Structure 1
Amino acid sequence: MQHAWLLAALLASGLAYAQPAPLTCGEVVTLDAQPGTTLRYAWQPPTGTASPTTLVLLPGGDGYPRLDAQGCARRLKGNWLVRSLSLFQAAGFGTALVDAPTGWQGEDGLAGYRVDPRHAQDLGRVIADVRVRTRGAVWVMGTSRGAISAVNAASRLVGDAAPDGIVLSSSVVSGQVGARKPWVAHSVFDLPLENIRQHVLVVGHAADACIRSPASLMARITERTQGAREQVVTVTGGPGGAHLSSVDACEGRSPHGFLDQEAEVAAGIERFVRGARY
């Protein structure tokens, strides 16, 4: 009888047929970018802290996650930053997953645009917009080719458009000179690293077999930056990557993308961003 009474009450109130809210990855924010183009990012605000901090996330590869209407990535799902969104959000960070602007959504995505000053300006618009929303700190985190974009932003932007710090993971530090596509030669060293005076964290994996991001070259980044606080971290452990092909070694589900160590690396990044050592 008690169950029948409860069901009747639920039916009367309409709660028995209430539908759960649709799952979303973030609010899709659209900004004007370069003339004739727009730029979108998926926004989740920071939580549970008096000092809000947001991470602007720049995935690698072609830099085109192709956000859907719910702010979820339809592409680059294996990228470690995309896979780790919930980890950063659980740590209280706001997240802004940046899509490729219109005009750079073709076969090669961002391609050589990653080193273009206009790309830095586009990212500056995202940073400034997030700053207005939160009145808090904004860090830029780029992985693999996304690290080139992060360095572009940090080395060229000023004022409210400039990030408070950068996190570079599995950075492309070795380009292929003479490649059929010129942008394949680009690395973080093609940008004015000496202009960077924000906080700088550089993270790589000792077992990263990607020819573009050997951990042995990471320290050369901070040899040129002038960061207020800097640290270079080499992650060890995990499943290893000696068995991977040269192509797969540069994909996200490998040591290049901290496979099976996402929580460990995200926790270290949180410590550094909050002001401690990794």
Structure 2
Amino acid sequence: MPNFPSASRAGCLAAGLLLAGSAAWAARCGDVVTLTTHGDTRTAYAYVPAAASPGPRVALVLLAGGGGHLQLDEQGCPRALAGNSLVRSLPLFHAAGLATALVDAPSDHRGGDGLAGFRASPEHAQDLGRVISDLRARSRAAAVWLVGTSRGAISAANAASRLSGPAAPDGLVLTSPVTSGNPKGQKSWVAQTVFDLSLEAIRMPVLVIGHAQDKCLRSPAAENERITARTEGVREQLVLLDGGPGRAGLSAVEACEGRSPHGFLEQEAEVAAGIVRFIGGARY
């Protein structure tokens, strides 16, 4: 596995990069790669190669939450969902020596609801398989991991449970996964959760991270243990964070946004370092 920096060194490097984040995002964020996906649609991702390292390369496919429509510009910078925890953590992963692919919504799911119910579809899993295969070849990575947060965890679990061969990920990370749906919602897709997927088919390493202070109705951390109870990962860990600044008085919608315990506010370096350790074969 890669010769990752120590957790403390990675955290310090990443913290400095986060502080300079606005300047970094104002420049080039990554190379925009556009693939042909389901039904002759187009799916783009922002690619950042791994820093030079003596060890094998590892790449991450990052799936944001919400509608998943990042509105990547020509410089690979997201014009939407910039507060998402995975978007904010990009400098942390790069400082640890990982390549990243930040995936936008396909061309036919860029309306107000974004990916909506498409997240759980076989076509979406196949689209992500194309991204994984392309990233594996482009980055020459020894391993490609899927990382999904909030509703992005539905996409990640969907792909991990359906794909096989070179298109399949080598590992799965779910952060603040959506585990509680609303079957009475005006739109049917709001009832979707990770439990609608064939979690038993997931046999790769699995890391699930939640926050004890997450007040989002769709991601109660107490439900996360039901995920690892069903997955058949060769290596699994369930992590429950606490602490951080919290945010009192959040509305039901605000509690599901990235800049809150749901998105590990001011704990990004800790979470990224833990993910890096797990990918490297150690405990979070």
Superposition TM-score, scaled by structure 1 size: 0.91
Matched residue, 2:254? 248
Larger relative contact order, structure 1 or 2 (CA cutoff 8 Å, min sep 6) = 2
Q: 1:43 and 2:47 equivalent?
A: yes
Please give the alpha-carbon distance, in whole angstroms, between the structure 1 residues aligned to 2:42 and 2:253: 32
CA shift for structure 1 position 36: 2.3
Report Cα offsets for 1:74-133 as digits up to 9, x if no partner. 000110100111111110010000000010101100000000000000000000001112
Q: Do the aligned partners of 1:26 and 1:71 also contact (CA within 8 Å) in 2?
A: yes
Matched residue, 1:221? 227
Residues 46-61 of structure 1: pairs in structure 2 closer than 5 A? 46-49=50-53, 50-61=55-66
Q: Which amino acid aligns with 1:123?
A: L
Q: 1:104 and 2:109 equivalent?
A: yes
CA shift for structure 1 position 162: 0.2
Structure index of larger Rg: 1
Q: Do the aligned partners of 1:39 and 1:99 also contact (CA within 8 Å) in 2?
A: yes
Residues 166-245 of structure 1: pairs in structure 2 closer than 5 A? 166-245=172-251
Matched residue, 2:126? 121
Q: 1:88 and 2:93 equivalent?
A: yes
Q: 1:69 and 2:79 equivalent?
A: no
Please give the alpha-carbon distance, in whole angstroms, between the structure 2 residues aligned to 1:144 and 1:128: 24
Report Cα offsets for 1:28-85 as digits up to 9, x if no partner. 0010001220110000111233210001000000000110000000000110100111
Report Cα offsets for 1:215-249 as digits up to 9, x if no partner. 10101000000001000000111012342111110
Superposition TM-score, scaled by structure 2 size: 0.89
Report Cα offsets for 1:125-172 as digits up to 9, x if no partner. 000001112142100000000000000000000000000001000000
SS at match of 1:209: coil
SS at match of 2:40: coil
Runs of 5+ unmatched residues, structure 1: 1-21
The partner residue of 2:281 within 252, 263, 275 is: 275
Please give the alpha-carbon distance, in whole angstroms, between the structure 1 residues aligned to 2:182 and 2:201: 25
Please give the alpha-carbon distance, in whole angstroms, between the structure 2 residues aligned to 1:257 and 1:240: 10
Report Cα offsets for 1:5-46 as digits up to 9, x if no partner. xxxxxxxxxxxxxxxxx9211100010001220110000111
SS at match of 1:265: helix
SS at match of 1:42: strand
Q: 1:262 and 2:268 equivalent?
A: yes
Please give the alpha-carbon distance, in whole angstroms, between the structure 1 residues aligned to 2:169 and 2:247: 33
Q: Which amino acid aligns with 1:149?
A: S
Q: Do the aligned partners of 1:207 and 1:241 also contact (CA within 8 Å) in 2?
A: no
Please give the alpha-carbon distance, in whole angstroms, between the structure 2 residues aligned to 1:93 and 1:135: 9
Runs of 4+ in structure 1 deviating by more than 2 angstroms, as ranges, are none
Q: Do the aligned partners of 1:208 and 1:241 also contact (CA within 8 Å) in 2?
A: no
The partner residue of 1:159 within 157, 165, 189 is: 165
Q: Which amino acid aligns with 2:43?
A: L
Q: Do the aligned partners of 2:56 and 2:141 also contact (CA within 8 Å) in 1?
A: no
Q: Do the aligned partners of 2:59 and 2:141 also contact (CA within 8 Å) in 1?
A: no
Please give the alpha-carbon distance, in whole angstroms, between the structure 2 residues aligned to 1:124 and 1:110: 16
Total equivalences in the alignment = 257
